[in-house]
Structure 1
Amino acid sequence: MPTIRDDEIPNATGIPSGARRTDLVPPPTLAVTEELLHALPKTDLHCHLDGSMRLKTILELAEQQKVKLLADTEDGLAKAIHMGEVCKSLEEYLVAFDVTLSVLQTADALYRAAYELAVDAAAENVRWLEVRYSPALHLQKGLKMTTVIDSVLEGLRVAKRETGIKCGVIVCGIRHINPQTSMRLAELAVAYKNRGVIGFDLAGAEASFPAKDHKDAFQLILKNNVNCTAHAGEAYGPESISQAIHNLGSHRIGHGTRLREDGDLLNYVNDHRIPLEVCPTSNVQTGAVSSLAAHPLKFYFDYGLRVTINTDNRLITDTTVTKELWIAHKELGLSLDDLTTIIVSGFKSAFLPFREKQDVLHAVNEEISKTLAAFDKKRHVSVMQPG
């Protein structure tokens, strides 16, 4: 008997809600290209504000704020923050955030960073963007946490008015900062529920900083019916993922790269349809995997897990969602059919209300179908033209 994937199960309308609908199966001769992947509607569910700035913006903000950086040119700064380079560890990768955070301590800077991130995402047809950051890291010059949140939300609102992109904010607790701070951040997330904040996260270095220490903050989040996710299984083993699920009640898992080391837990994640926020290039850069070829993304997908593809840090990793999808095709052999399924999984896994998600899924399925048809027609026209 064939396996029934959750994206094949009919929704309330009797129509499958995922990418396995017959009308979404790409024409077998339609090639995967970066142009096609760019044109498709997408999500970015795992994207850090402080890791996704523009180099030019960092330099301009540093000049305005009289902040001394490691370099004063875009090329020099890119090298200084290991942009796109493989790092020795997650901790070395995180050093780059010291640079970006040094200029993200004013309301204007936070507004600009959020606005530009959303505009850049919209330019590659990201329709739903979840921006995560920790307000506790932006208080060095006396800002209040509420000012930090308000500045980012305003930047995202303006970007939405100009481009149409929809965005939500995920507030991050930090593993290596005391659990009391996570509680304050959880209280902030609860206060801003339905005002732009859509979820809570636990980020930061995994080793020596167990997720279970932050359980109280997540209990507050869950009691107030707020969505939550957690970085887990990136730089530490499956025990980190287990804690995120069973101690924190996480609805999604950030990265989950080492989930494959525990078959029983992997099946639990699969059975309960817990989405993985996969960031392939970042996982190589941080040393979570030795190479793209060694990444478990394709195994997870083939096994039936709900996987999504994301950027993590657009600047530091030097990537976009389009680039990550292209890499998944070129390096891991995922087909266009696979990629459209993963794209739809992104929308299905979004921290959106159910009814709104239904509407979004119908619109996205239709847009994907039309985009595939348009590219197939374009291909036929090209083939028929004389050389």
Structure 2
Amino acid sequence: MERPIAQLPKAHLHLHFTGSMRHPTLVGLARERGVQLPQSLVSEWPPKLRATDERGWFRFQRLYDIARSVLRRSEDMYRLLREAAEDDRAAGSGWLEIQVDPSGYAARFDGLTATLELVLDAARVAERDTGVGIGIMVAANRTKHPLDAKALARLAAQYAGRGVVAFGLNNDERRGRALEFEGAFRIARRAGLVSAPHGGELQGPRSVRECLDELSADRVGHGVRAIEDPYLVERIATQETTLEVCPSSNVGLGVVERVEHVPLRRLFDAGAPVALGTDDPLLFGPRLAEQYETARAVFGFTDPELAELARMSIRGSAAPDSLKKGLLAGVDAWLAAPPPQAPAA
């Protein structure tokens, strides 16, 4: 018998704010707010997605924007973060980094600063109520002007040490190269924030290299297409740059055809630090524990290897050192305990 995944301490480093929403919460809030959801977000959920062309990405973004539109009141934001933390706790996660672009909510919640402060307070309440540590990543949108990213970086820097732990860059890689956002990331790094841009998802190794060279990335969101360049993978392993690999998302967006094509095993065996994440479970379905179950069932990860995946997620996180120490000790205890015995016939 294998050890229970949900009892393995871990950290969750790749989760988007709106995309963390539970499906029943989306449906319920849409009903309360009078928002008409497409069938792909109701009876045909999770939606069939493919974002390898512009039309596919537009459809993905449209569904995301519809989901965001149901979050209209401050209590909705508190609920979303509490439920995200509850789901992480159920999966064995003791630390959650959730990324949000405040500009997506600023018009509704009195501006960028007020929106970020609302999210930070909701995180503090969720942390208190669930026991899961929460850090906020402020993430810029690479389809917008780099000056917008600089404004977000300055805002994030103001709250460094007060709940904001990282600065990210998301959305379609094909519409904004990492090097264009070097100025924003320089501001964030000066404030001591973790640099965690998306790269190597819909574009290849060049996208990852720019994250490393131009943005001094500590982590790379996705990064799976680094596997196309063995020298790049060796560099990632040597520099200990954590890749936030999200298997369900890679399949859902058409980065790979089938989950067994995700290069998780190859990256791990090459020594690249990997932190499993969910990206947007609202749109892709599976949550954090299922990503570890996939590593076990599809890629043949043994319990010692799953424990190392968990350690990588913890080491790559921005969690306080004391929390990291406790979580790592928990991983060792999980592995040291004998696996459960099969019931007698």
TM-score, normalisation: structure 1: 0.83
Q: What CA distance in whole angstroms lies between the structure 2 residues aligned with 1:48 and 1:105?
A: 17
Task: Determine the structure 1 residue equivalent to 2:146.
Answer: 179
Q: 1:366 to 1:159 in 2, by over 3 A?
A: same
Deviation at 1:149, TM superposition (A): 1.3
Give the distance between the partners of 2:29 and 2:43, measured in 1 at CA: 19
Does residue 52 of the first structure (1) align with residue 20 of the second (2)? yes
Classify the secondary structure of the residue corresponding to 1:207: helix
Using the alignment, how far apart are the partners of 1:173 and 1:249 within structure 2? 16
- What secondary structure sits across from 2:13 in the alignment? strand
Asked if the contact 1:257/1:288 (under 8 Å) is kept, the reply is: no
Q: Measure, in 1, the Cα distance between the counterparts of 2:43 and 2:223.
A: 28
1:61 to 29, 44, 68: 29
Q: Which residue of structure 2 lines up, in the alignment, with residue 371 of structure 1?
A: 334
Q: Is the 8 A contact 1:110 1:148 kept in 2?
A: no
Q: Give the letter for the 1:341 counterpart.
A: E
Residue 373 to residue 142, structure 1, CA distance change in 2 (3 Å): closer
The DSSP-based 3-state class of the residue aligned with 2:150 is: helix
Question: Per-residue deviation at 1:93?
Answer: 3.0
CA distance in 2, matches of 1:365, 1:224: 27
Q: CA deviation at 1:118?
A: 1.3
Q: 1:297 aligns with which of 250, 256, 264?
A: 264
- Other structure's SS at 2:94 match: strand
Q: Specify the structure having the higher radius of gyration (Cα).
A: 1
In structure 2, give the amino acid aligned to 1:228. S
Q: Which residue of 2 aligns with 1:77?
A: 41
Separation in 2, partners of 1:101, 1:344: 33
Query: In structure 2, what is the Cα distance between the partners aligned to 1:258 and 1:187?
Result: 31
Q: Cα distance, 1:227 vs. partner?
A: 1.3
Aligned to 2:216: 249
Percent of residue pairs bearing the same amino acid type? 28
* Structure 2 counterpart SS, 1:312: coil
How far did residue 373 of structure 1 move? Answer: 4.9
Q: Which of residues 304, 319, 323 in structure 2 aligns to 1:360?
A: 323
CA distance in 1, matches of 2:35, 2:107: 13
Q: 1:42 matched to which residue of 2? A: 10
Give the alignment's Cα RMSD to 1 decimal: 2.0
Specify which of 331, 336, 344 is matched with residue 311 of structure 2.
Answer: 344
**Residue 102 of structure 2 corresponds to which residue in structure 1?**
135
Quick one: distance in 1 between partners of 2:43 and 2:65? 14
CA distance in 1, matches of 2:145, 2:74: 25
Per the alignment, residue 259 of structure 1 pairs with 226
Q: Is the 8 A contact 2:15 2:278 kept in 1?
A: yes
Q: Distance in 1 between matches of 2:257 and 2:123?
A: 35
Change in CA separation of 1:84 and 1:311 when aligned onto 2, cut-off 3 Å: farther
Match of 1:206 in 2: 173
Matches within 5 A, 1:107-126: 107-126=74-93
Q: Distance in 2 between matches of 1:223 and 1:364?
A: 28
Q: Which residue does 2:200 correspond to in 1?
A: 233
Q: Indicate if the aligned counterparts of 1:273 and 1:306 stay in contact, CA closer than 8 A.
A: yes
Instruction: Give, as a single letter, the amino acid of the residue that structure 2 aligns with 1:196.
Output: G
State the number of aligned residues: 341
Q: Does 1:32 align with 2:17?
A: no
CA distance in 1, matches of 2:188, 2:332: 38
**How far, CA to CA, are the matches of 1:361 and 1:219 in structure 2?**
26
Q: Is the 8 A contact 1:211 1:247 kept in 2?
A: yes
